């Protein structure tokens, strides 16, 4: 399924409308100085949720179900062997071709598309995630923030707000940090040397325990070290996590003490890498890029065939797309996703629905298959089936913007204004666009006839107002 439409990406940037009065008193957690309060795990999770809401509105987050599924699968595989995991992690992809990844409070881990571009193996890719996970589980970020409170005498709220903005929008974050923290603190999280060594050590062990080749971390270090002297702006990971020969040597010594292991052979890494290279890197001439892929016989065959299929689809050469897909495992999620797109593009809606239903019966609840099937129902104008499928799915995935977007489209096609306005209200709330969110819920109040529904909407408006008050308590320091 194609990524969510650009109109959805603009939700968080829409100007706020004037807000209606809300009678309930907002419940705002105390965010005073860390020396008085400390940063509890519960507060850390709340701050992580704030970060995600802000990020959705301001960052080019990639809402690509199959890439998200792959990224989450690697993160989950690592987390199974991690210690001190106190809350669910969320891994999200940002359309940025620089090599970078960064973690924030509450287990929120940003990964740039550039990590796929510059990683040669899945083990290298996973090593960066293992390192970032370790920064969170060892609470390095929380410790850094508390140290800044002690050093600057600023409130925890103002420092968290500026750090979050620095990760989301570096230029804005620099200005915020300058205004709130002066010269005593940087606009990014600067881990100490001991923090980096600890994340290396724990991340390396995590990588090995999860079945990856620990040499992948060393190989990634070598890529970065080779670029460090050049200060290559494409390798922004070096800014947040500067390397030294000593760090690399220490990691190498630890790897040598572990049994040898072969690199991962998971084809999904190569398919994900191909998908990023074709769909998220600008190509002036797609036909020339396709030819370059086919000529590079030294590349992984799965990568080559899937990249060629994606290029052919973009060029609307559907026969060639089908030929390249036939060279790949038919039950692979990346392959089924493109096969469904291909069938819908050729107006073979029934073929797409039959294929996806059968696959979903074998893998109930799978997000890629569910969202693709919902999209097929939507395309085939089977709106009630689309709604039924997505409502069940959203019981477990309430923050899925693709699902909410398709759900709102289906309600709109059925002219169900009551559900349409509520769904749009939830979508705007995910992007921290609270003015539009409350406006949509108030619109729903005007058209929803059932009293129970109206009471539920009123309660939801109060919840959103409380969420907005919490977010504003962080932004006030900026």
- Of the candidates 409, 399, 426, the one whose C-alpha atom is nearest the C-alpha of residue 374 is 409
Active-site residue 471, yes or no?
A: no
Active-site residue 122, yes or no?
A: no
**For the chain, how big is the Rg over CA atoms in Å?**
23
HEC secondary structure over 305-350: HHHHHHHHHHCCCHHHHHHHHCCCCCCCHHHHHHHHHHHHHCCCHH
Q: Catalytic residue, from 132, 215, 268, 337: name it.
A: 132
CA distance between the termini of the chain = 39
HEC secondary structure over 182-248: HHHCCCCCCCCHHHHHHHHHHHHHHHHHCCCCCHHHHHHHHHHHHHHCCCCCCCCHHHHCCCCHHHH
For residues 25, 31, 35, 36, the Cα torsion angle rounded to the nearest 10 degrees is: 0
Q: Catalytic residue, from 96, 200, 215, 419: name it.
A: 200
Other CB atoms within 10 Å distance of the CB of residue 469: 16
Q: State the DSSP H helix or E strand holding residue 49, giving kind and residue range, or none if neither.
A: helix 41-58
Asked if residues 173 and 151 have their Cβ atoms less than 8 Å apart, the reply is no
Query: What letter would DSSP give residue 38?
Result: -
Burial of 203 (0-12, 13-18, 19+ CB in 10 A): buried
CA pair distance 454, 49, nearest whole angstrom: 27
Q: Using the Cα atoms of residue 328, residue 334, residue 340 and residue 341 in order, give the sign of their dihedral.
A: negative
CA pair distance 318, 315, nearest whole angstrom: 8
- Ramachandran bin of 381, using left for φ above 0, alpha for ψ from -120 to 50, beta for the remaining angles: left
Which residue has 């294929």 as its token pair? 355
CA pair distance 262, 205, nearest whole angstrom: 16
Q: Which residues are catalytic?
A: 132, 200
């Amino acid at each position: 399924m194609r990524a969510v439409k650009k109109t959805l990406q603009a939700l968080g940037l829409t100007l706020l409308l004037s807000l209606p009065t809300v009678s309930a008193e907002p419940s705002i957690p105390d965010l005073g100085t860390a020396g008085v309060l400390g940063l509890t795990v519960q507060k850390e999770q709340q701050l992580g949720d704030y970060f995600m809401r802000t990020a959705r509105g301001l960052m080019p987050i990639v809402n690509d179900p199959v890439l998200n599924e792959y990224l989450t699968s690697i993160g989950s595989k690592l987390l199974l062997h991690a210690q001190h995991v106190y809350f669910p992690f969320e891994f999200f992809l940002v359309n940025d071709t620089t090599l970078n990844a960064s973690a924030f409070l509450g287990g929120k881990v940003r990964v740039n598309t550039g990590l796929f571009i510059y990683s040669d193996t899945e083990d290298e890719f996973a090593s960066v995630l293992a390192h970032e996970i370790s920064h969170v589980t060892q609470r390095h970020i929380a410790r850094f923030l508390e140290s800044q409170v002690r050093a600057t005498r600023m409130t925890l709220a103002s420092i968290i707000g500026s750090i979050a903005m620095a990760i989301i929008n570096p230029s804005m974050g620099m200005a915020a940090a300058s205004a709130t923290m002066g010269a005593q603190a940087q606009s990014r999280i600067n881990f100490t040397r001991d923090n980096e060594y600890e994340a290396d050590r724990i991340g390396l062990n995590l990588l090995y325990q999860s079945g990856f080749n620990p040499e992948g971390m060393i190989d990634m270090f070598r890529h970065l070290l080779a670029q460090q002297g050049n200060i290559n702006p494409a390798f922004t990971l070096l800014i947040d996590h500067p390397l030294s020969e000593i760090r690399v040597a220490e990691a190498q010594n630890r790897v040598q003490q572990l049994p040898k292991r072969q690199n991962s052979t998971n084809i999904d890494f190569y398919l994900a890498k191909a998908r990023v290279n074709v769909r998220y890197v600008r190509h002036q001439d797609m036909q020339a890029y396709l030819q370059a892929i086919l000529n590079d016989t030294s590349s992984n065959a799965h990568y080559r065939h899937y990249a060629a299929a994606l290029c052919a689809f973009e060029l609307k050469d559907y026969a060639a797309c089908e030929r390249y897909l036939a060279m790949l495992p038919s039950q692979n999620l990346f392959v089924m996703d493109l096969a469904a797109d291909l069938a819908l593009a050729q107006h073979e809606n029934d073929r797409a629905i039959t294929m996806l239903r059968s696959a979903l019966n074998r893998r109930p609840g799978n997000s890629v298959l569910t969202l693709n099937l919902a999209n097929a129902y939507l395309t085939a104008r089977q709106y009630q089936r689309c709604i039924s499928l997505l409502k069940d799915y959203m019981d477990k995935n309430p923050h899925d913007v693709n699902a909410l977007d398709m759900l709102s489209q289906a309600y709109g096609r059925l002219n169900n204004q009551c559900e349409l306005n509520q769904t749009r209200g939830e979508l705007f709330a995910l992007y921290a666009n609270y003015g539009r969110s409350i406006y949509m819920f108030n619109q729903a109040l005007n058209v929803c006839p059932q009293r129970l529904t109206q009471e539920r909407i009123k309660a939801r408006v109060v919840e959103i107002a409380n969420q907005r008050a919490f977010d504003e308590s962080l932004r006030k320091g900026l």
